[in-house]
């Protein structure tokens, strides 16, 4: 008879997580870097007590906001290239639903996080319990059902023994490169405290390895044939290249085949910016070099990318008539998008197999020369955009230039939403793989500081630099206090353009009047005079407001040498953006409007939409 140990469901869960391992550089390390927890009546007595028992093996971290702590867990997984991950637990009600946004972010970005929200009583004895959502027509519904569409796997634990198969399925999803994403185990609060006889074998240490599927031999032969026939091939490197650890394989393949490379937001830093074949960002926020080649390419090898609309220029740049797309992806859903020829494989394995199949073949020399010339021209444009001027307020691009000059290319650069992703995608010169950490799959305002905290936990030896606007800062800044509390130093550069400058520019570009985006254009009695430096200082950070780019560079050097989190504030011009590079993006313009500017924008919109081929 199998040996068992009597534990509560929550104790079994905590002990199981502490026994899961992964292999990094030949050594077995804990797969879970810890558990983020904000306790309430739905998890404090059950899971809280269980986590206390394993606190030395599986550390528990306290945060200040449930969405933010889940963002930190996601940032940790992304910075670890999905090799390690974290869990996050909340009480029922608002604590749980605060994590739904983070779950959606992880789902879009294919990132592993284990979400453990408390739930209502399975027994229904105190029904309705505090914070319970009641459905008038379905007694089985709770607030946690909100997690279903944004989870790769969802389970509600209504009996203690259910935790055994649920955790086994959860681990399969969290560690699978194709299925990877958020897992939600909804933990009924009474069941957390109920005991059962759990098999001791459930707690045996297990080491999880990265699965690397190789391609089908017919698909690799077809892919190699398509590449050999191409006269103007181009590689688009996505986040899957980084998650696969395929940067070296990409460089070898591109160099041998003479194929230029451009990068999505998720794939930026797949190659160092200084690599001669790296054309930089592609798409709506792309460089002129990458977009010029994308418009001419006859074949695009889309490696590890889900081909979202910013990458394809809403299918007016990539996927055009006569252009072949070859989708190298571990997930068949992504590999076959938009009539692509699929090459379903791990990115590293697929690139190495392609290199072997194409040995001795290289793209025409004229194509490589055109790429080199385009890159030289782009670097002149980029240098001009980031250089300081005598303007009253600097642009985002000029702030980026100052950060780059002061801190170099080997810091981990964090960003998420607003105008900065577009400017950073074009202009930041990334160094080694993983030094560019953008969250632009879900473009979630508020991810920046919390995600930076997770990245610092994953890479404590690196300087982590968070760049964000005042809008994102006001949405979610609480984890500055957590970074100070945990001794996890961040350098935060806050660009204050007094509103949502990016959307204001988009609004005006579609013919509308400036309305409800900048503070000055919103309904107000008095415009707030927000002292961001004072606020950051109140959370325990070192803080400083600077009046020029020169002061910014000096403050950044001071922050680099500081022993705790620094917040540096600089006012910027909300209207300025980099004109060079970029591509059209499909944002629908009203067919009918009283404004002549909207009618003109609609006419321009219809003309550009005719270029779509998706």
pLDDT digits (tens, 9 = 90+) for 168-191: 999 999 999 999 999 999 999 999
Cα dihedral across residues 143, 147, 148, 154: positive or negative:
negative
Residue labelled with tokens 């005006």: 508
Instruction: State pLDDT tens for residues 57-73.
Output: 999 999 999 999 999 99
**pLDDT tier for residue 378 given thresholds of 50, 70 and 90:** very high
The CATH number given to whatever domain includes residue 94 is 3.40.50.970
Helix orientation angle between 66-79 and 447-458, rounded to the nearest 10 degrees? 50
Indicate if 186 and 63 belong to the same structural domain: yes
pLDDT at 506: 92
Mean pLDDT along residues 410-422: 96
- Give this prediction's pTM: 0.97
Please give the pLDDT value at position 248: 98
> pLDDT tens across 529-561, in order?
999 999 999 999 999 999 999 999 999 999 999
How far is residue 260's CA from residue 254's CA, in Å, rounded to a whole number?
A: 7
Percent of the chain residues past pLDDT 90, beyond the cut = 96
Q: How deeply is 179 buried, as exposed, middle or buried, from its count of CB atoms within 10 A (0-12, 13-18, 19+)? A: middle
Residue 333's nearest CA partner among 315, 313, 307 is 307
Give percent above pLDDT 70 in the chain: 99
Beta bridge pairs of residue 341: 326
Choose one of 318, 349, 377: the last residue of a domain.
377
CA dist 256 and 131 (Å) reads 61
pLDDT of residue 40: 96
Checking if the pLDDT of 612 tops 90, the result is no
Rounded Cα distance, 614 and 612, in Å: 6
Can you give the pLDDT at residue 234?
98
Within this chain, do residues 204 and 221 fall inside the same structural domain, yes or no?
no
Residue where one domain finishes, among candidates 327, 347, 377 = 377
Would you say 6 and 60 are in contact if contact means Cβ atoms under 8 Å apart?
no
Residue predicted with more confidence, 25 or 269: 269
Rounded to the nearest 10 degrees, the angle between the axes of helix 347-357 and helix 247-257 is 20
**CA 144, 149, 152, 153 torsion-angle sign:** positive
Per DSSP, which regions of 73-123 are E strands?
85-90, 113-119
> How far is it, in rounded angstroms, from Cα 126 to Cα 41?
13
Looking at the fold, whether 501 and 557 belong to one and the same domain comes out as yes
**Secondary structure of residue 23 in the 3-state scheme:** strand
| Each residue's pLDDT tens digit, 419-445 | 999 999 999 999 999 999 999 999 999
Residue 591 within any structural domain of the chain: no
For residue 45, give both structure tokens.
């007595």
Is the CB of residue 143 less than 8 Å from the CB of residue 105?
A: no
Q: Give yes or no: residues 323 and 352 share one domain.
A: yes
Strand-pairing partners, residue 119, are 188
The Cα angle at residue 460 between residues 457 and 466, in degrees rounded to 5: 75
Whether residue 414 is contained in a domain is answered as yes
Is 135 among the domain residues?
yes
* 540 shares a domain with 450: yes
Task: Give, to the nearest 10 degrees, the angle between helix 365-386 and helix 396-407.
Answer: 100
From residue 231, give the alpha-carbon distance in Å to each of 119, 362, 364: 58, 10, 6
| Angle in degrees, CA 349, 350, 356, rounded to 5 | 90
**Predicted confidence band at 321 (pLDDT cuts at 50, 70, 90)?**
low
Q: How confident is the model at residue 320, as a pLDDT?
A: 67
Distance from C-alpha of 393 to C-alpha of 391, rounded to nearest angstrom:
5
Same domain? For 146 and 66 the reply is: yes
Residue 614 has pLDDT above 60, yes or no: no
Query: End of a domain among 333, 357, 377?
Result: 377
**CA atoms of 97 and 147, how far apart (whole Å):** 8
CATH number at residue 371: 3.40.50.1220
Rounded CA separation 510/585 (Å): 11
Q: Which residue from 262, 312, 251 is spatially nearest to 284, judged by alpha carbons? A: 312
Contact 560, 407 (CB under 8 A): yes
445 and 490 both lie in a single domain: yes
How far is Cα 38 from Cα 64, in angstroms, rounded to an integer? 8
Residue 577 forms part of a structural domain: no
Query: Would 604 be classed as within a structural domain?
Result: no
- Does 2 have pLDDT greater than 90? no
On whether both 60 and 201 belong to a single domain, the answer is yes
pLDDT of residue 332: 97
Determine the 3-state secondary structure of 570 from DSSP: strand
The reply to whether 408 and 496 lie within a common domain is yes
In a domain, 585, yes or no: no
**In this structure, are 490 and 563 located in the same domain?**
yes
Q: Is residue 586 part of a domain?
A: no
Peptide bond preceding 459 in cis form (omega within 30 of 0) = no
Pair (344, 366) in one structural domain: yes
Instruction: Tell me the average pLDDT of the chain.
Output: 96
Clarify whether residues 144 and 284 are in a common domain: no
**Domain span at residue 293?**
217-377
* Residue 132 in domain: yes
- pLDDT tens per residue across span 110-123: 999 999 999 999 99
Tens digit of each residue's pLDDT (9 = 90 or more) over 195-236? 999 999 999 999 999 899 999 999 999 999 999 999 999 999
- Residue 151 region, left (φ>0) first, then alpha (ψ -120 to 50), else beta? beta
Structural domain count of the chain: 3
């Amino acid at each position: 008879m199998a040996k068992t140990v009597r534990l509560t469901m929550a104790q079994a869960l905590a002990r199981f997580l502490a026994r899961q391992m992964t292999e990094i550089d030949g050594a077995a390390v804990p797969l879970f870097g810890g558990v983020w927890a904000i306790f309430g009546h739905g998890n404090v007595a059950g899971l809280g007590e269980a986590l206390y028992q394993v606190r030395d093996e599986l550390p528990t971290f306290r945060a200040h906001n449930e969405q933010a702590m889940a963002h930190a867990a996601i940032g940790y997984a992304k910075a670890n290239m999905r090799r390690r991950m974290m869990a996050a637990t909340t009480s029922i009600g608002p604590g749980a639903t605060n994590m739904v946004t983070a779950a959606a972010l992880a789902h879009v970005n294919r990132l592993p996080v284990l979400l453990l929200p408390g739930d209502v009583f399975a027994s229904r004895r105190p029904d309705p319990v505090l914070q319970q959502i009641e459905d008038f027509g379905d007694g089985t519904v709770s607030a946690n059902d909100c997690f279903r569409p944004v989870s790769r796997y969802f389970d509600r634990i209504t009996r203690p023994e259910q935790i055994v198969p649920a955790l086994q399925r959860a681990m399969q999803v969290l560690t699978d490169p194709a299925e990877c994403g958020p897992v939600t185990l909804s933990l009924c609060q009474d069941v957390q405290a109920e005991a059962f006889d759990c098999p001791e074998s459930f707690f045996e240490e297990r080491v999880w390895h990265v699965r690397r599927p190789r391609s089908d031999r017919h698909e690799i032969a077809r892919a190699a044939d398509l590449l050999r026939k191409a006269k103007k091939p181009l590689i688009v490197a996505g986040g899957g290249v980084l998650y696969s650890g395929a940067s070296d394989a990409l460089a070898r393949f591109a160099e041998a085949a003479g194929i230029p490379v451009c990068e999505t937001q998720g794939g930026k830093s797949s190659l160092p910016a200084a690599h001669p074949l790296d054309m930089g960002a592609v798409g709506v926020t792309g460089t002129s070099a990458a977009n010029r080649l994308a418009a001419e390419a006859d074949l695009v090898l889309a490696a590890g990318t889900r081909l979202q609309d910013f990458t394809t220029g809403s299918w007016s740049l990539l996927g055009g008539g006569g252009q072949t797309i070859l989708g190298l992806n571990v997930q068949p859903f992504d590999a076959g998008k938009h009539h692509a020829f699929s090459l379903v494989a791990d990115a590293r394995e697929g690139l190495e197999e392609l290199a072997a199949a194409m040995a001795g073949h290289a793209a025409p020399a004229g194509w490589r020369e055109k790429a080199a010339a385009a890159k030289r021209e782009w670097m002149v444009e980029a240098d001009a955009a980031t250089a300081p001027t005598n303007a009253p307020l600097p642009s985002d691009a000029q702030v980026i230039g100052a950060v780059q000059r002061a801190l170099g290319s080997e810091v981990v650069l964090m960003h998420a939403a607003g105008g900065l992703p577009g400017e950073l995608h074009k202009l930041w010169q990334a160094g080694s793989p993983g030094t560019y950490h953008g969250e632009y799959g879900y473009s979630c305002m508020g991810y920046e500081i919390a995600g930076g905290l997770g990245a610092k936990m994953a890479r404590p030896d690196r300087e982590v630099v968070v760049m964000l606007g005042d809008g994102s800062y006001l949405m979610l800044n609480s984890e500055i206090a957590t970074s100070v509390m945990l001794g996890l130093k961040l350098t935060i550069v806050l660009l204050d353009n007094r509103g949502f400058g990016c959307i204001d520019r988009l609004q005006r570009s579609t013919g509308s009047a400036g309305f409800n985006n900048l503070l000055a254009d919103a309904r107000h009695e008095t415009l707030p005079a927000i002292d961001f430096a004072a606020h950051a200082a109140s959370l325990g950070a070192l803080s400083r407001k600077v009046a020029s780019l020169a002061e910014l560079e000096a403050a950044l050097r001071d922050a680099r040498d500081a022993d705790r989190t620094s917040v540096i504030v600089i006012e910027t011009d909300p209207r300025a953006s980099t004109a060079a590079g970029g591509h059209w993006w499909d944002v629908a313009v009203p067919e009918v409007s009283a404004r002549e500017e909207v009618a003109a924008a609609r006419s321009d919109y219809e003309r550009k939409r005719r270029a779509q081929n998706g």
